[in-house]
A and B are shown apart, each in its own frame.
Chain A
Amino acid sequence: MTHKATGSRALSSDALARVEGEGAMRVEIRDGRVVDVQLNIYEPPRFFEGFLRGRGYTEPVDITARICGICPVAYQMSACTAIEDAVGVTVDGALRELRLLLYCGEWIESHALHIHFLHAPDFLGFDSAISLAAVDRAVVERGLEVKRIGNRILEVVGGRAIHPVNVKVGGFFRVPTTRELEPLRAELERGLELAVQVVDWVAGFDFPDQELGCELVAADHPTEYPMLADRVISDRGLDIAAAEWLDHIEEFQVPHSTALHARVLERGEYLVGPLARHHHHAEKLAPAAARAARDAGLEPSCVNPFRSIIVRAVEVVHAFETAIAVIDRWVRPAFAAVPVAPRPGVGHGVTEAPRGLLYHRYEIDDAGLIADAVIVPPTSQNQPTIEHDLWHFVEANIDLDDDELRRRAEVTIRNHDPCISCATHFLDLTVDRS
């Protein structure tokens, strides 16, 4: 109720709907020129980095999952990676494979949600997937089926779709048997088929021309399209280990947001997420995903944020293929986790959440407690770029009336799939033309 205008335009989308979390957008126009754009994130702060101090070194895995109900696995993976780095443990082999499988489930679930529920309605002129279903039930049901299969992975491997219970520092509490994974494989085959159809569907949408000019930052892995990774690269020379993050990326606070912003030191704003990942790693896509991308006419480097929906759909195909490959290679390990003992130290973790790179850093004291925690979610990193993107969009479309401008500005924001809960934090648009 606080998020919507009172008066005659109550049905308009004054609050930025179809994003995760709460915020508002403020655009100030003077004499036909944009003088200020603010993406206000007013989601109340929850202080995770503060109350993690003094918790046991195994606890961030479950606690940081609660930062985001849409991408809890990303938080679990970055937390595990960072803590394992701090205590000097490497998780590889079948246990790393199982982590990849779990992560594939989250990419599929989160991307299928964004494609069908949050983003596609914008291209097709609907206010929700529910109203879209009233005219084309089959495409929404197909999307739900893809999403359901992603959630099945999370349930089989993680115990449940939201805040999985089976992940811990060192590996898992219990590893699935081959017999448990086999029925999942059959579902994944079907999911793969549907996911290829989804790429074809979204590729047919009408995309406005637009190019982002910012630095593109993604995690890096020598052979894999990155989910689990340990290095960070950009198209402007960044090539660093996770441990060097704080030397190159700076977080800062702005008055209009409870989410911190981030920038590359010396250079400025940057973008993480599907466009950045695809730019750097398109050649590492699995075969069906690469084929689907080609058939969809997706250029090897696509920096049109509207077309990010195609990249997400291609990444869903890739995630299905990766998940199937993990199951085909699966040999159940003798241990569910490698032994871990606390020791004082500092550790860093970068993995690719569906929305983009997620960095965690923990300092562990001699009692095995967290002395300091740093968490840099993807939406915090993208917020300056989203504002910049909005600025250009509004300037180029300044003659539209307020309602149409608001609607299309919201689309500009949704292109980036902001997870405002993650970044702390939706949108009233105020256009001030005074």
Chain B
Amino acid sequence: MSGPQHAAPRPSLAVWKFASCDGCQLTLLDCEDELMAVTDRVEIAYFLEASSAVVEGPYDLSLVEGSITTAVDAERIKEVRRQSRTLITIGACATAGGIQALRNFGDVEELLRIVYATPEFLSTLGTSTPISDHVEVDLELRGCPIDRRQLLEVIGAVLAGRKPAIGDHSVCVECKARHNTCVLVAHGTPCLGPVTHAGCGALCPSFHRGCYGCFGPSEGADIAAMTSVLRAQGMSEDEILRLFHTFNAWSEGFREPPVGPVPVALSPSRLSPSRLSPREDRP
């Protein structure tokens, strides 16, 4: 479809996937009103979810979704870095290891045995780690999933060669800006808003729900104070730990909240092996 190229070459965009749910890269396709304008200004050079055309690197901007959970991916991300002028990680998997980082707290062998009858067929690392543990990252965009407006802001900023306007304050600030009644103070609903990175627009409190921390910890979050508040709301130590240990469980702020002893949720004794019998069938 490419006719003669009269215009100056457009910057190239590549979108990479590691262990993830595809939701953060889908956010780009969810920019329905802006997508055509974006594709007018950037060349989609590598984006397998959207196109089977693949243009050779290097790429001006790489968006990286997902976490590193296999030895192959740990090597692949290095090649992506070598091919990328600017590398931005998008979403909780890429910036904190994602929900699959819950394996980091337990024994991956146990998890393998629960889910698969023949674990030997699989090769996986014992950990799920953020991209920044493996290569230099130019900017991290938080969220599970990322916010569409933040994504457009970042792409626009990179194209214009300016610093993106992405704040690192907490959800509370956004919540006040929306004139929400505080669900924590007024309704006694446990809410991680005070320690969670802004970006969603205080979505959960706007739906009368406590924030569940899907953007990970905000800058300078006081996790100890938050833990005390949650305890005062009547939450058990186990419940508090589980509240922190979801999509950003392996982030530094949420990894080890100061809670008392908890019943071991994922001790091997709780776990029975896979219900599946091993077999190798062919169609």
How far, in angstroms, from A1 to B30 measured CA to CA in the complex?
25
How far, in angstroms, from A128 to B49 measured CA to CA in the complex?
10
Distance in Å: Cβ of A321 to nearest Cβ of chain B: 21
Q: Are B32 and A165 in contact (CB under 8 A)?
A: no
- Which residues of chain B in 1-56 are interfacial with respect to chain A, using CB atoms and an 8 Å cutoff? 1, 17-27, 29-30, 32-33, 35-36, 39, 44, 48-56
- Which residues of chain A in 29-84 are interfacial with respect to chain B, using CB atoms and an 8 Å cutoff? 36-37, 43-51, 53-56, 59, 62-63, 66-70, 72
Q: Are A163 and B17 in contact (CB under 8 A)?
A: no
Q: Given A1-B79, A51-B103, A255–B49 Cβ distance below 8 Å?
A: no
Distance in Å: Cβ of A135 to nearest Cβ of chain B: 6
Q: A253's contact among B80, B278, B282, by CB below 8 Å, is which?
A: B278
A85 within 8 A of B: no
Q: Are B121 and A255 in contact (CB under 8 A)?
A: yes
Q: Are B270 and A162 in contact (CB under 8 A)?
A: no
A313 within 8 A of B: no
B214 within 8 A of A: yes
- Secondary structure class of chain B's binding surface, majority of residues: loop
Measured between beta carbons, the chain A residues less than 8 angstroms from B50 are 17-18, 117, 128-130
Q: Are B265 and A369 in contact (CB under 8 A)?
A: yes
* Segment of B66-74, B164-172, B226-234 in the binding face: B66-74
Measured between beta carbons, the chain B residues less than 8 angstroms from A174 are 207-209
How far, in angstroms, from A113 to B214 measured CA to CA in the complex?
25
Closest residue on chain A to residue B108 by CB atoms: A47
Q: Are A44 and B19 in contact (CB under 8 A)?
A: yes
Q: Are B103 and A410 in contact (CB under 8 A)?
A: no
Measured between beta carbons, the chain A residues less than 8 angstroms from B108 are 47
Measured between beta carbons, the chain B residues less than 8 angstroms from A421 are 20-22
Closest residue on chain A to residue B24 by CB atoms: A69
Q: Are B22 and A21 in contact (CB under 8 A)?
A: yes
A177 within 8 A of B: no
Q: Are A46 and B19 in contact (CB under 8 A)?
A: yes
Q: Given A70-B22, A159-B206, A421-B22, A1–B281 Cβ distance below 8 Å?
A: no
B111 within 8 A of A: yes
Closest residue on chain A to residue B117 by CB atoms: A253
Measured between beta carbons, the chain A residues less than 8 angstroms from B32 are 144-145, 147-148, 151
Measured between beta carbons, the chain A residues less than 8 angstroms from B99 are 46, 48, 51, 63, 66
- Which residues of chain A in 146-174 are interfacial with respect to chain B, using CB atoms and an 8 Å cutoff? 147-148, 151, 159-163, 165-166, 168, 173-174
Give the contact-size bracket for chain A.
Answer: 35 or more
How far, in angstroms, from A204 to B109 measured CA to CA in the complex?
52
Closest residue on chain A to residue B146 by CB atoms: A162
Closest residue on chain A to residue B103 by CB atoms: A47
- Which residues of chain B in 164-183 are interfacial with respect to chain A, using CB atoms and an 8 Å cutoff? none
Measured between beta carbons, the chain B residues less than 8 angstroms from A53 are 114, 265-266, 270-271
Q: Are B111 and A47 in contact (CB under 8 A)?
A: yes
Q: Given A162-B145, A253-B116, A260-B276, A62–B212 Cβ distance below 8 Å?
A: yes
How far, in angstroms, from A21 to B26 measured CA to CA in the complex?
11
Interface residues of B (CB under 8 A from A): 1, 17-27, 29-30, 32-33, 35-36, 39, 44, 48-57, 69-70, 72-73, 76, 79-80, 83, 98-100, 102-103, 106, 108, 110-112, 114-118, 121-122, 124, 128, 144-145, 200, 203-204, 206-209, 212, 214, 239, 242, 246-247, 265-266, 270-272, 275-283
A-B CB proximity, top 9 nearest: A69-B23, A54-B265, A128-B51, A17-B52, A50-B111, A148-B32, A13-B52, A127-B53, A50-B114
